[in-house]
Structures are given as C-alpha cells and as structure tokens.
C-alpha cells in the first residue's frame, strides 16, 4: 500500500479529533488513510450523519465541525472495495468498546493540581505493579484511588499500571489492546484516570504505565484498513508484527511516538514500561526504541521533570541501556528476568520450561551483579543467550520475585504463597530488598495473597475464544501443566481479584507488617537505599544452602544472612547488631522453634558477637556491622 508524500506533512498535522475552539465547539478531525476517499460518520440522537472529508495530501483527510464538541461519537467511513466504517486509529476514548464509535475528548477541561510535583526519583523507586480491574473491589480507577493510603502505609513510592488501552469485552490483562491513545472504558473515563494520577502525585506517588508497542490485539484491530501498519517480514507470538522499517513505516513510527507524548503530556505519567521489546524488530536507524528514548528526553526538557522509560526483554540485551552515542538505545532501565528465575527456582525447585536453565543457589552470586546468562548456552532456548551487563549501574535493572507474567503465565496462576512455606516468602522478600537493583512488587505479594492471578479474556468473536483456549493449553506443554482454567470463563476473572484487607488471615497481616518494615529499611538505610552494585558482595554455600549478602553505602555496612535449606543451620560468625529478623513474633515467627534454637527474645537492635546461634529454615537476618 502506497503512502508516499505523507511523511513531511505528518510532522505538522494533528491526528485524530482535536478541539480547536472550546467556546465555539470547533473540532478538527484528521486521519491518514488510503484512497479513494474518507468521510466522517457522526452518531447522535439515534441517527448517523456522513460528512465528506477534504483530502489535504495524498493520504491525509481533514474536516472541521462546529457546534458539537466533547462526547461527540464518530467513525471514519473509508471508501473503496476494502472500505467500511471504523473507529479512529487515534481514538482517545471508546465508550462502546473496540468495535464501537470513538468519542471526542476535551483534554483541556481537566484542572490539574500537581504543579509542585517534582517528578520520579528513579534511583529510589519502589515499584508496585497492579492490574486495575482486580486490585480493588470496584475494579476501576476510583477503586485504585481509594487504596492509595494503603500503598503509602506499605511504603511504596511508584505505582505501575498494567496496560490501559481499550480491549475486547469486560476484562483483559490489557496486552490485547487497540487504539494506542484510548482509556479502557471498563476502568473509567479519561478524566477519572487523570484524577487518579493527580491524586497519586499529591500523595507523593509516581505513576508508570505499561504499554504495548510490539503488537496489537486480535479483536477490534482495524489499523490495517488505514495503512501499512503491519509487516509479514517478521513474526511475533501474538500476531502480525508492526511495520517499523518497511515502506510507509513513517506513519507507524509517528503513531508510536505520538502515543508516548500523549500519555506523558496529557495524563502526566512519570514513565512507560515497554512490553516485550525483544518482539520489536526494526532494522532501520535510529531504532524505534532509540526514538522513544529521545522523545522522553525531549519531554523532560519541555515539562521540567524526569521521565523513565523501562523495557521488558527476555534477551538479556544490555544494548538497550547505553546512550546512542555509545551504540545503545538510551532507555532508563530494563526488567531482569534472570533474577526472578534464579530466586524462584532456588526456593521452589521447579525445573520445567525455561526454569530448566536455573535452580543453582550459587547462581545468586552472579545475578546480584549481572545477568545470569551473559553468553552461555541455554538448554531451553537451545542457543547462546545474553550479553555482559557487569558495568551497567544497578539502577538500570528492575527485579522482582513475582510479576503478572511469572504468576499469571502459570497454568493455574499460583502465587509464591501457594508454592513455598511461609518463612520462605519472607526470605524471598529479603533477597529482593537487599538486591542492588530497583525492586518491584506484584499486587498481593505483600500479604501472601492466596487467590491466583489467572490469564483472563472476554473476546466477543467465537472463533477467537476457541483459539485462545486451545493456544493456552499448547503453551504449557513444556511445563507439563494440565487442567488449565478457561480464560474465557467469568469465574477465571473473578477468582483473580485481591482479597479485601478486612478478610485477611493472621499470617497475612503479619507478612504485611514484615513487608512494611523491610521496605522502610530499604528506603531509609544508607547501605540499602541506593541500587549500588559496587558496594555489594554475595556468598552462597550450596551444601548448607546459606547465603550471605553484604551491602555498603553512606558510611554503613549491613549483612543479610539467609537459610534457604530445610534444616536449622549454625549462623556464620558475625559482629554487629541485628536490625531485622524475619522470625520475630510480629512477623509470624516460630516462637517455640526459636526458643529451641536458643533465641527466646526478639533480636532486632541487639549486639551479637557469638556464632553459636542457629538460623531456622527460611530465616532471614539483617545485621548492621560496626565501622572498622
């Protein structure tokens, strides 16, 4: 499909529906589409009206409407054999869902009150990943807003929202979204999202949006009608690859960069998490990821606040991080799956699927300073995998012990609370918050949520429904998992909602106290609060399954001791004060077992010099070492 002549004009045109004069309700509609013609189709009062659009360039059409502004419903009517009426590719709101009419949004109407917001301080970020539809009982932006004080009590300073663009049906993870500028109507209106972010900033919480630029959802995706948005040169696991480097790709790249600006400028997001960038193929220069990073830097200068761009990748590709002058793409950080996989397999013993490449406790020594796979052969991928990231600062990596992917992409969505005993949940958190990286929690982790987080969809197309169920079963063949819940059943979504706080069990309240106090230490202690790999050493004893992590910074040194085995072990010798003990009664500690081990009293803050005491299975101690 030819779209020549549009590239220069695209840089000057407003795309989608733009309010030019609020007082007179003048709205301009602009769309890039192939000929032979395009009309604006308006819907009001039970009837539709067709208005021809002026062709302003070979593939650009525009029209202005007076007297009808915000809320006006519209579609574009494409002429020709492959034509029809479709939602706006730049739609900001789809109140009737992915197949329905788009709605005009007045972004200038909302009155922000976050003028004094200083922006995200990335090096001190403590992330909390949540799904808007299952985090609260309401399943809406308003429901999230009502729980912000809970997150502040926990000690979180950065919220990460799973994708928000329009998806089919009543619920979805968000990664099947269409319309890169839309707000999922199941969660609320655009102004309600702004109100949530505004309130977060007022309370000192940064907000990051998870967004998908590697594919579009399979239902309601009409982009192919409007231009060469897809290519058959490459493949993705989820559908057609996006055309970032072929003929006509200028409109595609423009749309992605416009989307970055849209969420940061109009909604005041503090950053974006880019989903699965290893599935983005772009052989042109600059790479689209490099342009996204450059756009973020441009926005930083314009807005006077920091914008963080984080990539998810399973390729262990350090090239994402360095600036373009050093041959990189200039992103702020990336997820490090090797950290999760190492901790998870050490604690659970699982060895199916990609977990077959992990499971050695001594691997902890490497993943606290680098990827685990830095060019070694992967038995799962059947190839050499990874690059060397030893020189990259710790702030360039986000690590977690649970995420929506690693929980939800299990056949039955089991959280770690269903896979290991209670003491090891605390040990896992200790491993996370003593790591010299940016830590991230997945909603419910902090109190051992027992409900699963399952994969759920609500497609309207019967054939797609069947294909999703079948594909889900095939996906888990390598793990040997059976009896997979049907993603299309309503019960699958309902089972994935968090348990309200007033229905927590005692051990869940105790674990929340543990997380709250440990996060406070992470935020405040000079040796822990900065993600400094240079001040970190790790020693693992495979035979006794003991781990020692030492962190130094700000003139202080702390040592974390872990017993990851299933038997009590004598503590390694140390001198200093125990400032945190996972076995204290307020954290659900094993009182009787502690007495038998010779530790009848809480140990926090107590000076100890004798090595005879025992570490219980799963116990985690944090010791502040006196200066030399």
Q: What is the DSSP string of 167-219?
A: -SSS---STT-B-TT-B-TTT--HHHHHHHHHHHHHTT-EEEEEE--S---SS
Q: Strands 438-442, 397-400: parallel, antiparallel or unpaired by DSSP? A: parallel
Rounded to 5 degrees, φ, ψ at 129 are: -90, 130
CA atoms within 13 A on the CB side of 601: 7
Residue 197 near residue 267 (C-beta atoms within 8 A): yes
Which position has the token pair 């990286």?
A: 437
Q: For residue 600, what are its two tokens?
A: 């009848």
626 vs 628: CA distance, rounded Å: 6
Hey, what long-range contacts does 162-165 have (CB within 8 A, 24 or more apart)?
Answer: 162/129, 162/130, 162/131, 162/132, 162/210, 162/404, 163/209, 163/210, 163/211, 163/212, 163/275, 164/132, 164/193, 164/209, 165/211, 165/212
β-pair partners for 397:
334
Enter the tokens of residue 49: 């009206």
Do 615 and 546 touch, CB atoms closer than 8 A? yes
- DSSP, collapsed to helix, strand or coil, labels residue 144 as helix
Cβ–Cβ < 8 Å for 14, 27: no
Give the Cα separation of 559 and 623 in Å (integer).
5
- Residue 279: φ, ψ to 5°: -95, 5
Question: Taking the chain, what is the end-to-end CA distance rounded to the nearest angstrom?
Answer: 71
For residue 393, the tally of other CB atoms under 10 A from its CB is: 17
Q: Are 364 and 372 in contact (CB under 8 A)?
A: no
Cβ atoms of residues 594 and 521 within 8 Å = no
Gap between the Cα atoms of 44 and 181, Å rounded: 23
Q: Which of 166, 176, 275, 624 is the catalytic position?
A: 275
Of 23, 14, 18, 141, the closest CA to residue 72 belongs to 18
Inter-residue contact 57 to 3 (CB < 8 Å): no
Task: Give the residue carrying structure tokens 């105790």.
Answer: 510
126 touches 51 (CB < 8 A)? no
Residue 487 structure tokens:
């993603």
Asked if 275 is an active-site residue, the reply is yes
Mode of pairing for the β-strands spanning 576-581 and 569-570: unpaired
Which residue of the set 312, 449, 488, 584 is catalytic?
312
Q: Report how far residue 88's alpha carbon sits from residue 14's, in angstroms, rounded to the nearest whole number.
A: 13
Contact 339, 437 (CB under 8 A): yes
260/575 Cα distance (integer angstroms):
51
How far is residue 467's CA from residue 463's CA, in Å, rounded to a whole number?
6
| DSSP annotation string for 378-407 | ETTTTEEE----TTS-GGGEEEES--HHHH
Residues serving a catalytic function are 275, 312
């Amino acid at each position: 499909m030819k779209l020549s002549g549009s590239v220069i004009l695209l840089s000057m045109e407003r795309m989608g529906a733009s309010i030019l004069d609020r007082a007179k309700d003048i709205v301009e509609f602009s769309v890039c589409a192939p000929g032979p013609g395009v009309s604006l189709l308006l819907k009001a009062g039970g009837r539709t009206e067709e208005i021809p659009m002026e062709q302003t360039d070979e593939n650009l059409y525009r029209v202005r409407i007076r007297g009808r502004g915000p809320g006006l419903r519209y579609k574009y009517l494409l002429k020709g054999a492959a034509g029809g009426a479709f939602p706006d590719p730049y739609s900001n709101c789809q109140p009737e869902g992915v197949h329905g009419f788009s709605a005009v949004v007045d972004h200038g109407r909302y009155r922000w009150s976050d003028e004094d917001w200083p922006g995200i301080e990335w090096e001190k970020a403590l992330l909390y990943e949540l799904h808007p539809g299952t985090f609260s009982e309401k399943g809406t932006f308003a429901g999230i807003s009502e729980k912000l004080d809970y997150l502040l009590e926990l000690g979180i300073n950065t919220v990460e929202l799973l994708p928000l663009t329009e998806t089919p049906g009543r619920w979805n993870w968000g990664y099947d979204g269409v319309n890169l500028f839309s707000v999922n109507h199941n969660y609320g209106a655009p102004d309600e999202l702004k109100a949530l972010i505004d309130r977060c900033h007022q309370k000192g919480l940064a907000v990051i949006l998870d967004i998908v630029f590697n594919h579009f959802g399979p239902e309601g995706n009409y982009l192919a009608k409007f231009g060469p948005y897809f290519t058959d040169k490459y493949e993705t696991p989820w559908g057609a690859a996006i055309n970032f480097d072929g003929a006509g790709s200028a409109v595609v790249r423009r749309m992605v960069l416009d989307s970055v600006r849209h969420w940061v400028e109009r909604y005041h997001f503090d950053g974006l998490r880019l989903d699965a960038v290893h599935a983005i193929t772009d052989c042109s220069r600059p790479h689209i990821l490099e342009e996204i990073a450059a756009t973020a830097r441009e926005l930083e200068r314009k807005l006077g606040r920091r914008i963080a761009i984080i990539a998810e990748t399973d390729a262990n590709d350090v090239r994402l991080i360095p600036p373009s002058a050093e041959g990189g793409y200039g992103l702020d950080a990336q997820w490090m799956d090797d950290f999760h996989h190492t901790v998870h397999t050490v604690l659970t013993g699982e060895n199916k699927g990609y977990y077959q490449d992990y499971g050695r406790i001594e691997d902890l020594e490497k993943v606290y300073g680098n990827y685990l796979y830095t060019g070694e052969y992967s038995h799962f991928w059947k190839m050499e995998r990874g690059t060397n990231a030893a020189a990259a600062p710790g702030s360039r990596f986000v690590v977690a012990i649970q995420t929506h992917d690693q929980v939800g992409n299990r056949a039955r969505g089991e959280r770690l609370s269903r896979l290991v005993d209670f003491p090891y949940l605390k040990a896992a958190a200790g491993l996370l918050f003593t790591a010299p990286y940016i830590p991230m929690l997945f909603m419910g982790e902090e109190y051992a949520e027992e409900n699963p987080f399952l994969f759920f969809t609500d497609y309207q197309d019967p054939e797609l429904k069947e294909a999703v169920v079948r594909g889900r079963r095939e996906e888990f063949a390598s793990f040997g998992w059976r009896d997979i819940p049907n993603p299309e059943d309503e019960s699958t979504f309902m089972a994935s909602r968090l348990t309200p706080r007033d229905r927590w069990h005692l051990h869940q309240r105790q674990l929340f106290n543990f997380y709250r106090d440990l996060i406070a230490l992470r935020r405040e202690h000079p040796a822990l609060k900065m993600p400094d790999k240079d001040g970190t050493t790790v020693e693992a004893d495979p035979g006794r399954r003991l781990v020692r992590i030492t962190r130094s910074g700000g003139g202080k040194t702390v040592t974390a001791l872990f017993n990851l085995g299933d038997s009590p072990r004598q503590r390694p010798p140390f001198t200093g004060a125990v400032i945190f003990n996972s076995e204290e009664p307020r954290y659900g500690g094993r009182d009787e077992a502690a007495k038998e081990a010779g530790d009848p009293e809480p140990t926090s803050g107590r000076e100890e010099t004798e090595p005879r005491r025992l570490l219980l299975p799963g116990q985690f101690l944090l010791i502040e070492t006196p200066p030399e």
